[in-house]
Every structure is written in C-alpha cells, then in structure tokens.
C-alpha cells in the first residue's frame, strides 16, 4: 500500500521535480504540473494523456479513476493511494513526469 509520504518521496526523486502549494493540494511539477496530492493524503491526481488514462483505469479500476469533469477529459486521473502499491505510484509518476519534461524542453 502506498501513502502520501511514499508518493511525495517518489515524485520528488524524479529529475527536476519540485513541489509547492496548489489551492488545497500539493503540486508536483517540472515547469508544468504533472501531479497533485490531496490535503488528506488519501489520493493524488495525475496528468495522463487520454489514452494512458483509459489504459490505467481499465487495468486497475480500484487504483485509478478518471476525474468526472473537463479536467478528466484532458487526462487528469485520481490515484487512490490506499489501493495502490509503491510500484503503481512509481510507474504512474514516471509516465506523467515524461510529459511535463517534454513541455519544459519545448520552451
């Protein structure tokens, strides 16, 4: 089982990743935000592509859930940390981090 501490540790170990406040959450970014951690530490949101989101939600629906709004249609997905392993978290964060790094390189 993953938790907010392992999520934060894994996210900040990614190259160039920083964290800071984002409304009532903690945001993790490399130029662009790739993940946010809920204040209660029970879940986080990740910025997948829509195809990645669909894959993750089908593969592990108890772990990943598309956000049911416009942000979700853009790929933002909730990961439920209590249902996730640290390996789930690490793989998901690595996937979304790549997109944030790609955006940073384009600038």
Name the nearest CA neighbour of 30 among 16, 12, 42, 40. Answer: 16
pLDDT tens digit sequence for 47-69: 999 999 999 999 999 999 999 99
As a whole number of angstroms, the distance between CA 82 and CA 95 comes to: 20
pLDDT band at 102 (very low <50, low <70, confident <90, very high): confident
pLDDT at 31: 86
pLDDT tens digit sequence for 8-47: 999 999 999 999 999 999 999 998 999 999 999 999 999 9
**pTM of this structure:** 0.93
The DSSP H or E segment spanning 35 is strand 32-37
Q: Does domain 4-106 have CATH number 3.90.1150.30?
A: yes
């Amino acid at each position: 089982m993953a938790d907010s501490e392992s999520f934060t540790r894994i996210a900040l170990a990614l190259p160039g990743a920083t964290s800071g406040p984002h409304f009532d959450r903690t945001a993790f970014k490399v130029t662009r935000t790739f993940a946010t951690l809920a204040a209660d530490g029970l879940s986080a949101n990740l910025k997948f592509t829509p195809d990645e989101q669909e894959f993750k939600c089908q593969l592990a629906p108890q772990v990943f859930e598309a956000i049911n709004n416009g942000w979700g249609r853009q790929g933002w997905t909730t990961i439920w940390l209590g249902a996730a392993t640290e390996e789930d978290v690490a793989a998901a964060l690595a996937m979304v981090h790549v997109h944030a790094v790609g955006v940073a390189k384009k600038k």
